[in-house]
Structure 1
């Protein structure tokens, strides 16, 4: 039994690591995978696992972009340090909307909206939006992180609020919002990565404190394994996305979301 729970954590860590950064909804994938790899652990732990496992994904961002995010890097000149501090300030203000709404309504949102129907519909809706936005997309005017204004950063932060609805995809909502607000695909993806750092660290810490961290030894091992796998896979997924969008648009992800949404609806309405 213990080995099976660890294997399930590895599988879910792989899914988390891939889908957290691609705009395809990690929740939509995890809700399907969990149907075939259900944990035989306490409900409180399982709820915590799916939030805290994201911490592994966040570590991947910190490792890959450490120099860009570190204002104290000794190789940076004063101008670069000021630019890095400015980037963090933009990240901070963009985090506020989702932080407030998430803190106030986390339980309500989870209870009312965390279900296959909501997840499937959001997968389809945002899949369609990605296709529409790419078809009507104009030339971006923000092609460097230093060109990103506070107003645009806050605007992206408001789009992140939409990601509180399961199935939306945090990266999907913020990338879509950034592109609509005039950023290049690369800047949209990078700022989405950075914006996840305080949000997901806060969500993971809050969930752990809320659960009281009263887990069994096996549960801590499962959580650690899942997070480690999510970290390693996230590194690959982030590098892939940044390479992919240099030559391609986001329409393929839109079509994929629509397909997955239909699969989720079909499975839970006709197979379960």
Structure 2
């Protein structure tokens, strides 16, 4: 196995794990970094699916007690049934809109320059939202109602546009719709589980012919790197949101997006889809 390819897998896996649950767009970073590393072939499409699965399994592990409690109570516990219902309602907008528009968006917007533009726009939106005085009325996921979950679900659906950030859209949407910062962040993590599992199954089905046993070492390296990096990031983010807002991530998005556009304009980097 090519050691250079394994190194690329390691780097991309780490980046996926670090960015998946931060409001800076993991898909956008993978598109840009994949172009920079010249890893944009057919294998890379399946690779990115696999490492996203590694990141979401890290969340499942971190919240295994809450998930186990929810699954165990589906048959008899009204609280857990209600929690599962909230996740289903929040998941539906992304599921429906994803089936309708996923292929079109992937064909036209999955490129570094579109991502850079979305990073910049999203960064300014985060700055605007953070400067508004939103007063939370929901301090716990268990206090949410189905209209709250539906509205956050539509916010999450905006992340179909690469560079938007699934976690950023759900967290910022949650703040706008009355969730506390911690509640919005936790619901973003929970909502990621059905959303990303469904996206993974759909993408694997669409790209089944690209799966080869010879690629297993590359996928394994990226998967493990994403799993470990995501597990560390989730814990750190929950601690961070207790005392900070997301302004630093907004400025990071803006600066990063401007750098990508500047390097393209100056001809310093030839970005490819």
TM over 0.5: yes
Deviation larger for 183-192 or 206-215: 206-215
Tell me, in whole angstroms, the C-alpha distance in 1 between the residues paired with 2:248 and 2:22. Answer: 11
- For 1:84-123, what aligned pairs fall within 5 Å after superposition? 84-123=80-119
In structure 2, which of residues 246, 250, 255 is the aligned counterpart of residue 250 of structure 1? 246
For the residue of structure 2 that corresponds to 1:153, the secondary structure is helix
For the residue of structure 1 that corresponds to 2:38, the secondary structure is coil
For the residue of structure 2 that corresponds to 1:71, the secondary structure is helix
- Maintained 8 Å contact 1:67/1:73: no
Tell me, in whole angstroms, the C-alpha distance in 2 between the residues paired with 1:168 and 1:218. Answer: 33
Deviation larger for 132-141 or 10-19: 132-141
Tell me, in whole angstroms, the C-alpha distance in 2 between the residues paired with 1:155 and 1:72. Answer: 22
Matched, 1:140 2:136: yes
- The list of structure 1 runs, each at least 4 consecutive aligned residues, that deviate by more than 4 angstroms after superposition, is none
Tell me, in whole angstroms, the C-alpha distance in 2 between the residues paired with 1:52 and 1:84. Answer: 30
Instruction: Quote the residue 2:47 is aligned against.
Output: 49
Cα deviation digits, residues 106-136 of structure 1 (max 9, x gap): 1111011112222111111111111111111
- For 1:106-185, what aligned pairs fall within 5 Å after superposition? 106-185=102-181
Tell me, in whole angstroms, the C-alpha distance in 1 between the residues paired with 2:122 and 2:39. Answer: 30
Tell me, in whole angstroms, the C-alpha distance in 2 between the residues paired with 1:261 and 1:214. Answer: 31
Tell me, in whole angstroms, the C-alpha distance in 1 between the residues paired with 2:247 and 2:151. Answer: 22
Tell me, in whole angstroms, the C-alpha distance in 1 between the residues paired with 2:252 and 2:203. Answer: 30
Tell me, in whole angstroms, the C-alpha distance in 1 between the residues paired with 2:250 and 2:90. Answer: 25
Shift of 1:33: 1.9
CA gap of 1:216–1:2, structure 2 versus 1, over 3 A, is farther
Which runs of 5 or more residues in structure 2 are unaligned?
none
Which runs of 5 or more residues in structure 1 are unaligned?
none
Instruction: Quote the residue 1:215 is aligned against.
Output: 211
Matched, 1:34 2:34: yes
- Maintained 8 Å contact 1:44/1:211: no
Cα RMSD for the two superposed structures: 1.9
**TM-score between both structures, scaled by the size of structure 2:** 0.92
Instruction: Quote the residue 1:22 is aligned against.
Output: 22
Count the aligned residue pairs: 267
In structure 1, which of residues 239, 245, 249 is the aligned counterpart of residue 235 of structure 2? 239
- Maintained 8 Å contact 2:42/2:210: no
